[in-house]
């Protein structure tokens, strides 16, 4: 997928295969865990339920796809714990007509969930192998409202800015200035900040006058955001 795709306000989502009885049971169990953790937003829960997480994990870890745990993927990266994905998606507060910028495509799992909620998702990934794998998954699922490219996530996607929502799935010492600039007035960004075990998930709001406010959400552990 690339930035030459025309804007579309609709998309199609087709499961790659019907879930087995065990997968369906595990999926229900995970959704119950998410609800008990405080995620009550029905749109977020429906999006998570509809995206087959087993498609986004390595074959060796497929049986653990619906467990509430982070799992390794290619290039030394991870697919985030579903609880963290759910809280980040909830905190982003995406509405159907919005355009969302995602920094760090990774496996494409978070991207696919956002695609169920937003008008269009722009996603940037620095690893060529990961991006190719994610794009193939998007094609298999017939998700047509995702635009992806390889690049330096710290620079955002200037040509398509501004964005009503920005989500960052890698941690930096501070929020890159380019991303703050590309956040629309009235917009929300969710991003981890800090190093190693001291990372904090922030919700950043830009008011209509451009002033920035931050809110601490939870402690997290993400791979570092690498420039270049």
User: Is residue 16 situated within a structural domain?
Assistant: no
Residue 14: predicted pLDDT: 40
User: Is residue 227 situated within a structural domain?
Assistant: no
Residue 160 near residue 100 (C-beta atoms within 8 A): no
User: Is residue 226 situated within a structural domain?
Assistant: no
Residues 155-187: tens digit of each pLDDT? 999 999 999 999 999 999 999 999 999 999 999
* SS3 assignment, position 1: coil
User: Is residue 9 situated within a structural domain?
Assistant: no
pLDDT band at 1 (very low <50, low <70, confident <90, very high): very low
Of the candidates 44, 36, 53, the one whose C-alpha atom is nearest the C-alpha of residue 88 is 44
Question: How large is the average pLDDT for residues 127-155?
Answer: 97
Query: How far is Cα 55 from Cα 3, in angstroms, rounded to an integer?
Result: 24
Distances (CA, A) of 222 to 49, 85, 104, 139: 23, 12, 11, 27
Residue 207: predicted pLDDT: 95
How many domains does the chain contain in total?
A: 1
Structural domain range at position 25: 21-219
User: Is residue 224 situated within a structural domain?
Assistant: no
User: Is residue 55 situated within a structural domain?
Assistant: yes
CATH code of the domain covering residue 52: 3.40.50.150
Residues involved in catalysis: 80
User: Is residue 1 situated within a structural domain?
Assistant: no
Of the candidates 154, 117, 129, 152, the one whose C-alpha atom is nearest the C-alpha of residue 41 is 117
User: Is residue 80 situated within a structural domain?
Assistant: yes
């Amino acid at each position: 997928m690339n930035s030459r795709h025309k804007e579309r306000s609709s998309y199609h989502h087709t499961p790659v295969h019907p879930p087995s009885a065990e997968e369906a049971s595990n999926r229900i169990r995970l959704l119950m865990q998410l609800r008990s953790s405080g995620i009550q937003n029905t749109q977020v829960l429906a999006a998570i339920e509809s995206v087959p997480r087993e498609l986004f994990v390595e074959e060796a870890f497929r049986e653990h796809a619906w467990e509430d745990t982070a799992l390794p993927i290619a290039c030394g990266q991870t697919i985030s714990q579903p609880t963290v994905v759910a809280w980040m998606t909830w905190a982003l507060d995406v509405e159907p007509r919005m355009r969302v910028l995602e920094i760090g495509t990774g496996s494409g799992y978070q991207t696919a969930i956002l695609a169920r909620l937003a008008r269009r998702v722009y996603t940037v990934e620095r690893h060529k192998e990961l991006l190719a794998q994610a794009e193939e998954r998007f094609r298999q699922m017939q998700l047509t409202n995702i635009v992806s490219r390889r690049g330096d996530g710290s620079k955002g996607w200037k040509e398509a800015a501004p964005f009503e929502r920005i989500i960052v799935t890698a941690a930096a010492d501070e929020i890159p200035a380019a991303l703050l600039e590309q956040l629309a007035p009235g917009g929300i960004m969710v991003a981890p900040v800090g190093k190693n075990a001291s990372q904090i998930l922030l919700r950043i709001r830009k008011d209509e006058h451009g002033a920035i406010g931050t809110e601490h959400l939870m402690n997290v552990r993400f791979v570092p955001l690498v420039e270049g």
